[in-house]
Amino acid sequence: MDTKPAVYSDTINEEEEKKIILREYRALLRALRERIKKGDKTKLRNAFEMAVEAHKDMRRKSGAPYILHPLAVARIVVEEIGLGITSSICSLLHDTVEDTEITLDDIKHEFGENIAKIIDGLTKISNVVDIKGDTTKQAENFRKILLTLAEDPRVILIKLADRLHNMRTLESLNREKQLRIASETSYIYAPLAHRLGLYEIKSEMEDLAMKYTQPETYTEIARWLKETKRDRTRYINEFIKPIKDELTNAGFEFQIYGRPKSIHSIWTKMRKKHVAFEEVYDLFAIRVIIKSLPEKEKEDCWKVYSLVTKFYHPGAERLRDWISVPKGNGYEALHTTVMGPGGKWVEVQIRTERMNEIAEKGLAAHWKYKDGAPSAQENKLDSFLVHLREVLKNPETDTIDFIQDFKLDLFTEEIYIYTPKGDMRVLPKNATALDFAFDIHTVLGMRCIGAKVNYKLVPLSHVLKSGDQVEVITSSKQRPSEDWLNFVITAKAKSGIKNYFKDEKRKVAEDGKQLLKNKLDAMGVAMSPHNVNELMAFFRMHTPFDLFYGIAVGSLDLKDIREFAIQGDKLTSPFREPKPEVKHYVDDENKQKAPPKGQEVVIFGDHADKVLYKLAQCCQPIPGDDVFGFKTSDGVKIHRTDCPNAAKLLANYGHRIIRTKWAKNKEISFLSGIRLTGLDDVGVIQKITNVISGDLKMNMRSLSLDSKDGIFEGNITVFVHDREELNALCNKLGALEGIHTVERLDSPYE
């Protein structure tokens, strides 16, 4: 069933709106048909009517009645995630407590404690990272999301459905909101969907986020996919024909089809491997889904593998067996890449119907909500949730770093490590022996002094490989070192080490607090919030903790308090550090004002209201790039929307983002970089310099080429006026004989 939003027209009258709303409700009922028990239909109708009444005067930015949003969320929850009646009711009501007069008590009275609890969880995380100001508050809210996931996965599954529908209808919002919401989605929600096995939702979220953060690249790849669809379909049919015949002869009931890769995954491959679209060999995957009895699933999948490789030679290192050892989110399948007709590599995925259901709808959708005991894979999710609670149980985990650390656990490729007794642990790729120790238990990590990997003694920093057997060596005298943070990569290990040092510093700070109190008592001055604030301002400390810790370790001298005047029991600082002034450009000797909230920064224009800005070194934008401004203490930094740091900035610091646009100015040049690869032929440098300096009359700053075995790689930095000129240069260089790839560097300083 289709849950993609239709284009809504503001010419639709009230009667037509009612018909649309009723049609969506009936579609939800049809989706739930096989899961509705006696009395469920009445509950669902009550929830629908309550939501319609609560939202009756509300509209979305598109002009559509607001009730269409909770209805769409409910359909996603049922049709695309696989949840049932309880989650449907919660989806219909998910915005009522926050946005309308309905209270949690009303919902508890009408639908019971269980539904009220889920609605309460959804309400608490409704504005997860849209907090104006304190970034630690944003991270704390993300922590609340994860705690909610640990308690009841349905809360976050409904939240993911809510975010997916918002992404599908993002075109109605202004540019700043589009960028912020798209960045939040790729930064936080897509990794969560990935960890819960919701691959379809994860892929769509990434594609939609890219549509708004990198619109030109998204449109270009979409166009390429459309233009190559006919050839791709012809090739897929040719590839699957002999396999189809063989599977039929072997008596399998099956489906086999080719499926295009997502735009985002294609773009990731292009960047990672430095290849053009035409050279991405796995634009699609062949999927074979077989009907199989539970006890014969593994055997049948390997039989299909043998039939596929009967016709097509497999790549030696391209077999992935996620049936024997499923992924941490429960994903099971055999993946292999084989050499197809015409010398093209083709990825083949082999699954049973059960495996396919989990792959498409996510394991969490089935966890503890089906009859019978949980399966081994559902127990695996249970282990993940236990791990999640351990990471989050310390209330000090409240920084932006925590989000980044935990995202690593969510999204990184997994490795499988064994204990001396043969128990398997799942860790992210590049995890160390110390990460393994913390994964087993925090106390074990704290006391770890080394490890034996495959019976060989290794240091704490030893990077583990899949299949390693690890024995942890401990000592009761061992204490964590801050150096450990340089090589551990898991959120649990980082959190444990950081919390240890916070506890140690807190003890030291308590000593400093007592020293300060003794000093103030001797001066006849109270240890009051006013006096502590005066001392913080004087010593330029941000928090009381910093003040007390500085006093304890001797970096702040209590003798300096003599400079204060005493009035009653209050201190008066001899000076206050003036607030930093916003620096502005001086244009024609007239100072310009900083732009009011909501106004654009015009880069290199003649308009007033220009604040001091710099072009970010991490992405080095040039005119024509899609950009945004980011407020810093030194003014505004201009970043490209596809900057490597953009998602983090837009997701975590939305309140510091400023609309930015380029003014046309052909007098100013910008440094930009290009990476080239090709055949190391005689005269290649001359051909390149002829294009840059001769044909295009560009000023080249540097050129460096390295050659090995007849292939060269090189970087060129040039001054260009805008992106149009840079694209012209790339096209000209790409057309030269022997040049293999030409791509823009994120920064010319790479």
> Average pLDDT for residues 456-461, to the nearest whole number?
92
The span from the CA of 362 to the CA of 169, in Å, is 23
Q: Is residue 179 part of a domain?
A: no
- Answer yes or no: is pLDDT of 142 > 70: no
Residue 254: the pLDDT is: 95
What CATH number is associated with residue 688? 3.30.70.260
Nearest residue to 561 (alpha-carbon basis) of 539, 545, 533, 529 = 539
Give pLDDT, residue 649: 82
Q: Which helix or strand (DSSP H or E) is residue 741 part of?
A: strand 739-744
Q: Are residues 58 and 35 in the same domain?
A: yes
Tell me the percentage of the chain whose pLDDT exceeds 70: 82
CATH number at residue 34: 1.10.3210.10
Query: By C-alpha distance, which of 465, 443, 461 is closest to 451?
Result: 461
Residue 155: closest CA among 120, 124, 118, 191: 118
pLDDT recorded at residue 162? 94
Looking at the fold, whether 508 and 628 belong to one and the same domain comes out as no
pLDDT of residue 596 exceeding 50, the answer is: no
Residues 165 and 22 in one domain: yes
Contact 51, 70 (CB under 8 A): yes
> Is 289 a member of any domain?
yes
Helix axes 85-92 and 153-168, enclosed angle (nearest 10): 50
The three-class DSSP label of residue 613 is strand
Task: Assign 62 a pLDDT band (cuts: 50, 70, 90).
Answer: confident
Report strand pairing: 635-640 vs 613-615: parallel
Q: Binning pLDDT at 50, 70 and 90, where does residue 598 land?
A: very low
User: Span 590-597, mean pLDDT?
Assistant: 40
Q: Torsion angle of alpha carbons 52, 55, 56, 59, nearest 10°?
A: -120
Q: Concatenated DSSP letters for 61-108?
A: TTS-BTTHHHHHHHHIIIIII---HHHHHHHHTTTHHHHSS--HHHHH
- Is residue 493 located within the same domain as residue 506? no
Name the catalytic one among 40, 53, 99, 471.
99
What CA–CA distance (Å, rounded) separates 281 from 634?
Answer: 46
Strand partners, 417: 425
Residue 564 forms part of a structural domain:
yes
DSSP string, 621-635: --TTS-EEEEEETTE
pLDDT given for residue 5 in this prediction: 52
Q: How wide is the angle at C-alpha 227 spanned by C-alphas 226 and 232, nearest 5°?
A: 85
- Residue written as token pair 């009859």: 371
pLDDT of 701 over the 80 cut: yes
Do 420 and 479 fall within a single domain?
A: yes
Number of domains in the chain: 6
What's the CA gap between 355 and 359, in Å, rounded? Answer: 6
Q: Which of 98, 227, 396, 521 is catalytic?
A: 98
pLDDT tens across 371-416, in order?
344 455 555 556 666 666 665 555 544 445 556 656 555 556 778 8
98 is catalytic: yes
d(CA 25, CA 611): 51
Query: Of 543, 572, 601, which residue constitutes the final position of a domain?
Result: 572
> How confident is the model at residue 140, as a pLDDT?
58
* Residues 284, 342 within the same domain: yes
The tokens for 174 are 């202004």
The answer to whether residue 613 scores a pLDDT higher than 70 is yes
CB atoms closer than 10 angstroms to residue 462: 19
Determine, yes or no, domain membership for 428: yes
User: Where is average pLDDT lowest: 285-299, 468-482, 581-595?
Assistant: 581-595
Residue 132 has a pLDDT of 40
Whether the CB-CB separation of 148 and 124 falls below 8 Å is answered with yes
Residue 712, pLDDT > 60, answer yes
Indicate the pLDDT class of residue 570, thresholds 50, 70 and 90.
Answer: confident
Mark whether 22 and 167 lie in a shared domain.
yes
Q: Which amino acid is at 110?
A: E
Q: Cα-flanking dihedrals φ and ψ of residue 287, to 5°?
A: -115, 125
Q: Which domain holds residue 511?
A: 499-572
Closest CA to 91 of 43, 62, 51, 142: 51
Q: Are 641 and 214 in contact (CB under 8 A)?
A: yes
For residue range 326-381, what is the model confidence (pLDDT) as tens digits? Answer: 887 778 899 999 999 988 889 999 999 998 988 888 765 455 334 344 455 555 55
Residue 3 within any structural domain of the chain = no
Evaluate if residue 526 carries a pLDDT over 70: yes
According to DSSP, the β-strands at 470-474 and 448-453 are antiparallel
pLDDT for the residue 278: 73
Quick one: the chain helix, strand, coil %, rounded to 5? 50, 20, 30
- Clarify whether residues 594 and 654 are in a common domain: yes
Q: Does residue 580 form part of some domain?
A: no
Looking at the fold, whether 347 and 397 belong to one and the same domain comes out as no
How would you list the strands of the sheet with 456-458, edge to edge?
456-458, 448-453, 470-474
Strand pairing partners for 286?
Answer: 258, 348
Bin 86: left if φ > 0, else alpha if -120 < ψ < 50, else beta: alpha
Helix (H) or strand (E) holding 320: strand 320-321
Query: Residue 225 in contact with residue 258, Cβ under 8 Å?
Result: no
How many residues are present in the chain? 750
Q: Which amino acid is at 202?
A: K
The whole-number pLDDT of residue 696 equals 87
Give the mean model confidence (pLDDT) for residues 586-603: 44
Quick one: how far is CA 417 from the chain centroid? Answer: 26
HEC profile for 276-312? CHHHCCCCEEEEEEECCCHHHHHHHHHHHHHHHHHHC
Nearest to 8 by CA among 60, 63, 75: 63
Of 538, 572, 606, which residue is a domain's last? 572
Cα–Cα distance, 236 to 285 (Å, whole number):
9
- Give Cα 345 to chain centroid, integer Å: 29
Contact criterion met (CB below 8 Å) for 642 and 213: yes
User: Across-strand partners of 571?
Assistant: 566
Q: Name the pTM for this structure.
A: 0.70
Q: Annotated catalytic, 99?
A: yes
| Partner residues linked to 611 by β-bridges | 584
Same domain as 85, residue 61: yes
Q: Of 635, 662, 689, which one is at a domain's C-terminal end?
A: 662
* CATH number of residue 425's parent domain: 3.10.20.30
pLDDT of res. 194: 85
pLDDT at 370: 46
Residues 494 and 512 in one domain: no
Establish if 108 belongs to a structural domain. yes
Q: What's the mean pLDDT in 4-26?
A: 77
Q: Residue 628: beta bridge partners?
A: 639
User: How confident is residue 85, by pLDDT bands cut at 50, 70 and 90?
Assistant: very high
State whether 618 and 675 are in the same domain.
Answer: no
Strand partners, 670: 720
Query: SS3 of 24, please?
Result: helix
The answer to whether residue 287 scores a pLDDT higher than 60 is yes
Encode pLDDT of 648-699 as tens digits.
888 777 777 888 888 776 777 888 889 998 887 778 888 888 898 888 888 8
Report yes or no on 197 lying in a domain: no
**Which of 135-149, 592-606, 726-740 has the least mean pLDDT?**
592-606
